[in-house]
Amino acid sequence: MPQQASHLDSLRTGAENADGVIHLAFNHDFSDYLGAGRTERAAVETFLDTLSGTDKPFLFASGVALLAPGRLATENDANPMTGPDAPRGGAEELALSPVARGVRTVALRFSPTVHGAGDHGFVSTLVGVARTKGVSAYIGDGSNRWPAVHRLDAANMVRLALEKAPAGSVVHAVGEQGIPTREIAEAIGRKLGLETVSVTPDAAAGHFGWIGRFFGVDVPASSEITQALLGWTPTHQGLLADLDAGYYTD
């Protein structure tokens, strides 16, 4: 606890001396995901308390995954993860709640993969699994969809949100609404020279590890409202093109 208090004091000091806060951090510790969520909530509470009444911007990183599995999620969908024991500590709900009055809060919902050279996220993890297992796999028939956005397009969206998104806005960093996971696995297999195979949902955890719980979900998402609000247009190449370019495998 003393160590966490010290970290929160550091966040408080930084927020006090800043013109605004863009909070993109999260501890993806899947061995203690509940604890990671509580840490996240404590950080957001600290920022809101510090910025209260200043009208300074507070941009908070969230995600589009799990908003509305099985259908196209939009910026109008409420985040179902609420309360301190929810995934990510229910921090998006907290950031957009009445507690945040006097702060220009904006929820930045990112695609499951923010791709491009230097990405070490979910797709890089899938490449690592394929190398280890000797096959590039998808779950079931692989028709479930993952949204994606190029990191440079995402960075531009964050800048525009900082400059002009009104308080309480929700914006989606989505360049491609939904890429079938089979196509992602096939692109990985092509670059690694590996067979592409299906694994059953029951076998997903054993094959993929922690990422199996995410790779099998169908979570397409739109950014039409965001594009209209911010005047933002994704222009960089898509995820499959990045995979074919070898950014994850060379």
Token pair belonging to 216: 């099998």
Residues 69-108 have pLDDT tens digits of 999 999 999 998 887 777 776 788 888 886 667 899 999 9
Helices (H), 26-146: 33-51, 91-95, 122-133
Determine whether 50 is exposed, middle or buried from the number of CB atoms within 10 Å of its CB (0-12, 13-18, 19+). Answer: buried
124-127, long-range: CB < 8 A, 24+ apart: 124/248, 125/211, 126/184, 126/185, 126/188, 126/208, 126/211, 126/215, 127/188, 127/192, 127/248, 127/249
Give percent of the chain with pLDDT exceeding 90. Answer: 72
Rounded alpha-carbon distances, angstroms, from residue 20 to 36, 46, 57, 175, 240: 24, 14, 5, 26, 35
Residues 2-51 have pLDDT tens digits of 445 558 899 999 999 999 999 987 776 666 666 677 888 888 999 999 99
Comparing CA positions, the residue from 76, 63, 149 lying closest to residue 108 is 63
Domains within the chain, CATH numbers bracketed: 2-112+149-173 (3.40.50.720), 117-147+178-218+237-243 (no CATH)
Q: How far is CA 158 from the centre of its chain?
A: 13
Comparing CA positions, the residue from 122, 107, 149 lying closest to residue 23 is 107
- In residues, how long is the chain? 250
Residues 40-59 have pLDDT tens digits of 888 899 999 999 999 999 99
142: left (phi over 0), alpha (psi -120 to 50) or beta: left
Q: State the distance between the two ends of the chain, measured CA to CA, in whole angstroms.
A: 43
Determine whether 30 is exposed, middle or buried from the number of CB atoms within 10 Å of its CB (0-12, 13-18, 19+). Answer: exposed
When computed from its CA atoms, the radius of gyration of the chain, rounded to whole angstroms, is 19
Round to whole Å and give the CA distance between 226 and 209: 33
> What's the angle, vertex CA 62, arms to CA 56 and CA 65, rounded to 5?
160
What is the rounded average pLDDT of the residues 211-216?
Answer: 92
SS3 8: helix
For position 1, what pLDDT does the model report?
42
Residues 151-166 have pLDDT tens digits of 999 999 999 999 999 9
Give percent of the chain with pLDDT exceeding 70. Answer: 92
Determine whether 66 is exposed, middle or buried from the number of CB atoms within 10 Å of its CB (0-12, 13-18, 19+). Answer: middle
Comparing CA positions, the residue from 80, 83, 82 lying closest to residue 68 is 80
**Is the dihedral angle over the CA atoms 212, 217, 220, 225 positive or is it negative?**
negative
